[in-house]
Amino acid sequence: MYTTEFVDVPLGELLYRVQTLKHQGFRFVQMCAETTEAGIDLLYTFYDETVDNAYNLCVYGIDEKSEVPSIQELYFAAFSYENETHDLFGVHFTNMKLDFGGNFFNVAEEAPMTIITPEMKAERDKLAKQRAAAAAKARKAAEEKQAAEADAAADAKVAAVEAGKSAGAVADKADPAAAAGDAAAKEAERAAKMEAKLAAMDPEKAAKVRAALAAKAAQKDGE
Amino acid sequence: MATRSVIPFGPQHPVLPEPIHLDLVVEDEKVVEAIPQIGFIHRGLEKLTQKRDYNQFVYVAERTCGICSHGHGYGYVSATEKLLGIEVPRRVVYIRDILEELTRLHSHLLWLGLLADAFGFEALFNHCWRLRETILDIFQRTCGGRIILSILVVGGLAHDIDDADLKAICDKLDSIKRDYLEIMDTMMNDVSVKSRLCGVGVISFEDAMELSMVGPFAKGSGIEHDIRSTGYGAYGDLDHFEPIISTECDCYARCKVRAEEVIQSIDIIKELVSKIPHDGIGQKSKAKVVPEGQSHVLIEQPRGEAFYYVRGNGTKYLDRFRLRTPTSQNLGGLVKALQGVDLADVPMIILTIDPCISCTER
């Protein structure tokens, strides 16, 4: 079984690459074009008989103003493909050995293969919407994960402060007034930090955290 | 100095089976230059991929041509299966190749008849077409259709051909072979045939290589290129396969290659039937979309190597389906072969490339 290879080539290098393949003994198989949103793509296929390898050169994004060098001097068999691509896709070739001047395919419409049918357009729009929805979903999931991690970190910090506070209360028994002043200052600082975090958080999540803190405070007051 | 004149030839002409137009520049009955023109029956079949999903498009691909319709369907489904990553059961591959070889038989018999008709050998024409009818009867019995077989689906076959029918095909081919050998003897050795074909429309080996010619047109110039020898499909399971070539480089050589390929195809079918596995016939692909990507396959059609390319875009429609027929590739060779020949030999030379313009224009 033969192998297949696709290689991207800039338009400026096309002729040089085809020349190289010709010197390596490749046989010309075909050339075809395709209409994409970024322009016309060209695909040149060559075949190496010695190792049974089908080698494809892909040239992307040819626009109306681009001029593609003809390969007829190297492979005369390309004349039918180049004239066809000119007539059906409107691609301009330079230095063509056999140029039919747009009369190879007698089609009523100019460059008919560049027109996208409504069916294909609808499918492409549908695909674009599906992709946008999937991307939005992924972004939201990432944000939620980040917020949950921030919550967990905040809770851990609060717990650490609480633990420190109870330890401090034992040590401050000797000077109750100073200890009460320090505790109030720390409490105010902690409340300010928490408020800043809550402001940066998703409102729904922030409301939940606030409710949890309020419940905790109420429980503490009850004790 | 001889006067030059331009003779328009075709697209409607008594000896032309296909609508191709040639501007023949002649000088004293000798053709100096021939400029081909096509485009009279362009149907935009490739563009229909934008209106028919990848499963429906099998039917469009099969209708590209009235002779090698199975081959076009085969090429399309193989390229699409490659893109979808589907591996079909071996029985499917065998049946596809058996039908492809039967197509080669009926295509070559049709061509031999047309050639005989072109040089005025009516009896030979009748006999070739009588045998061709037998092949069409086989198609009708096994697939239901005589020309458009509609047995292919992406992922397998629409229905199986049972072993009894395959055995019947082999029996029928034995009787065809006996009759065909008698016809072949006349075709290859008759004086009137040789006088019209030998030394006419010569294309040297070097020119054939330079022009990237394919199929019997190239094999008649000594080029040993046949994509079946790479072992694609079931051809890799054959005990031995060697392309039939001839080194005379003229119309007779091309006729000889096709005539001998008939015998070779009969032998291939019988060998494939004897080795056919029983591992199912696959099923129609249920994939809702074709993934983004591209793939292509090369298969050996009766007229030579054909190229099928598909490109998916993540929807159920293909972005592009490309069919490059052997005739497209051989047009350059035709232009070369017509240079310097007598005007009376032009129809014969055009016939020896076996042009199929409806495939070429798609």
Distance from first CA to last CA of chain A, Å, rounded?
Answer: 82
d(CA A2, CA B184): 34
- Which one has a higher pLDDT value, A167 or A45? A45
Residues of B in contact with A51 (CB under 8 A): none
**What stretch(es) of chain A map to CATH 3.30.460.80?**
3-115
The residues, any chain, with a CB within 8 Å of residue A194's CB and separated by 6 or more, are: A154, A158, A213
Q: Residue B125 has what pLDDT?
A: 86
Q: Residue A179 has what pLDDT?
A: 62
**How, if at all, do strands A39-48 and A27-36 pair?**
antiparallel
Q: How many CB atoms lie within 10 A of CB B96?
A: 24
Looking at the partner chain, which of A27, A43, A112 has a beta carbon nearest the beta carbon of B309?
A: A43
Contact, A92 vs A76, CB < 8 A?
no
d(CA A44, CA B267): 36
Residues of B in contact with A52 (CB under 8 A): 230
Instruction: List, for residues A66-95, the tens digit of each pLDDT value.
Output: 888 898 888 888 888 888 888 888 888 888
Tell which CATH classification among 3.30.460.80, 3.40.605.10, 3.40.30.10, 3.40.190.10 matches the domain A3-115.
3.30.460.80
How many residues comprise chain B?
362
Q: Is B342 exposed, middle or buried, given 0-12, 13-18 or 19+ CB atoms closer than 10 A?
A: middle
Cα→Cα distances A166→A128, A160, A183, A214, B162, Å: 58, 10, 10, 20, 87
Q: How many CB atoms lie within 10 A of CB B269?
A: 23
Contact, B208 vs B225, CB < 8 A?
no
The pTM for the full model equals 0.78
Q: Are residues B324 and A36, on separate chains, in Cβ contact within 8 Å?
A: no
Question: pLDDT band at residue B358, thresholds of 50, 70 and 90?
Answer: confident
User: Which residue shows structure tokens 């080698």?
Assistant: A55
Q: Residue B350 has what pLDDT?
A: 83
Looking at the partner chain, which of B211, B294, B316 has a beta carbon nearest the beta carbon of A123?
A: B316
Query: Which residue of chain B has the CA closest to A58?
Result: B294
Residues of B in contact with A29 (CB under 8 A): 212, 298, 305, 307, 324, 329
Q: Are residues B46 and A112, on separate chains, in Cβ contact within 8 Å?
A: no
Question: pLDDT band at residue A168, thresholds of 50, 70 and 90?
Answer: low
For the cut 60, the answer to whether the pLDDT of residue A171 exceeds it is: no
Q: Average model confidence (pLDDT) for chain B?
A: 86
SS3 B127: helix
Domains of chain B: 4-361 (1.10.645.10)
Write down the ipTM of this complex. Answer: 0.78
**How, if at all, do strands A39-48 and A67-69 pair?**
unpaired
Structure tokens, B179? 């009759």
Query: Which residue of chain A has the CA closest to B294?
Result: A6
pLDDT, average across residues A44-69 = 84
The answer, for B211 touching chain A at a CB cutoff of 8 Å, is: yes
For the cut 70, the answer to whether the pLDDT of residue B243 exceeds it is: yes
Instruction: List, for residues B244-281, the tens digit of each pLDDT value.
Output: 888 888 888 988 898 899 999 999 999 999 988 988 88
For the cut 70, the answer to whether the pLDDT of residue A64 exceeds it is: yes
Query: Which residue of chain A has the CA closest to B327?
Result: A80
Question: pLDDT band at residue A101, thresholds of 50, 70 and 90?
Answer: confident
Nearest-CA neighbor of A72 among B211, B177, B94?
A: B211
Q: Are residues A34 and B51, on separate chains, in Cβ contact within 8 Å?
A: no
Structure tokens, A81? 């493909």
Cα torsion A168, A172, A173, A177 to 10°: value is -130
Q: How many CB atoms lie within 10 A of CB B99?
A: 25
Question: pLDDT band at residue B196, thresholds of 50, 70 and 90?
Answer: confident
